[in-house]
Amino acid sequence: MNSKIRSKVESLFTEAPKTKKALELKEEIIVNLTEKYDDLVKGGKSPEEAYNNVIASIGDVDELIRSLKQNDILSLEREEQERKKTALVVSGAVGLYILSVIILITMTAVLNINGVIGTMVFLLIAGIATCILIYHFMSRPSYTKMDDTLVEEFKEWKQNSTQTNQLRKSLISIMWTLITVIYLLLSFTLNIWAYSWIIFILGAVIEQIIKLLFDMKNMKGQ
């Protein structure tokens, strides 16, 4: 009779989302019904009477299933909100980078302001944009597995890996932009073209350090 109870509950949960929460809830109902069935049989009920009794006690599970599906919809809505937030943050950061370059050119070429001051303002604005990007990508929630299947584990790994790669590429791109600007400023203002190229070697070293740090982080997360 226990298998009959399980089959009945399985049929009631046919339209339920295939999530860990729904599975746990279904198993909990099966356990509770089985225990109730055993108690009724021990109390003198016939197997058929006990079975009909426990099945009648289930009630309407449609509302419960709708609630489970609604939770899935809310999860999708949160993902959509997160994508929009990322697009807004990245667009704002890119705008700040463009603004920093415009201000630098205006201060040095148009207003004839000291190049050091212009560079400081440029680095300040670019630094703010970089901090915004780093904070956003580092504070994004990791993928939450809906169940313990291999598919969900792969989705979790893929999203976390994608976020890490996006952050690493952003940092490296920002670094080379800053290095190029600093190289030109130092070369023009100090007229040290014969030596200023060394900054690109330093940039290559910093890039490898960034990659190494991210690789070490990935190894720790495995």
Q: Per residue in 136-153, pLDDT tens? A: 776 766 555 554 543 355
Q: What is the DSSP string of 120-181?
A: HHHHHHHHHHHHHHHHHHHHSPPPPPSSSSHHHHHHHHHHHHHHHHHHHHHHHHHHHHHHHH
- The yes-or-no verdict on residue 3 having pLDDT over 50 is yes
Domain boundaries, the chain: 2-59, 83-221
Residue identified by tokens 């290559």 is: 204
From residue 157, how far is each of 65, 115, 147, 210, 221 by CA, in Å? Answer: 29, 46, 14, 21, 10
pLDDT band at 97 (very low <50, low <70, confident <90, very high): confident
As a residue count, the chain comes to 222
**Backbone conformation region of residue 18, classed left if phi is above 0, alpha if psi is from -120 to 50, else beta:** beta
pLDDT band at 203 (very low <50, low <70, confident <90, very high): confident
The closest alpha carbon to 185, from 94, 77, 109, belongs to 109
pLDDT value, residue 154: 44
B/e letters for 24-44, b = 16+ CB within 10 Å, e = fewer, are ebbeebbeebbeebeebeeee
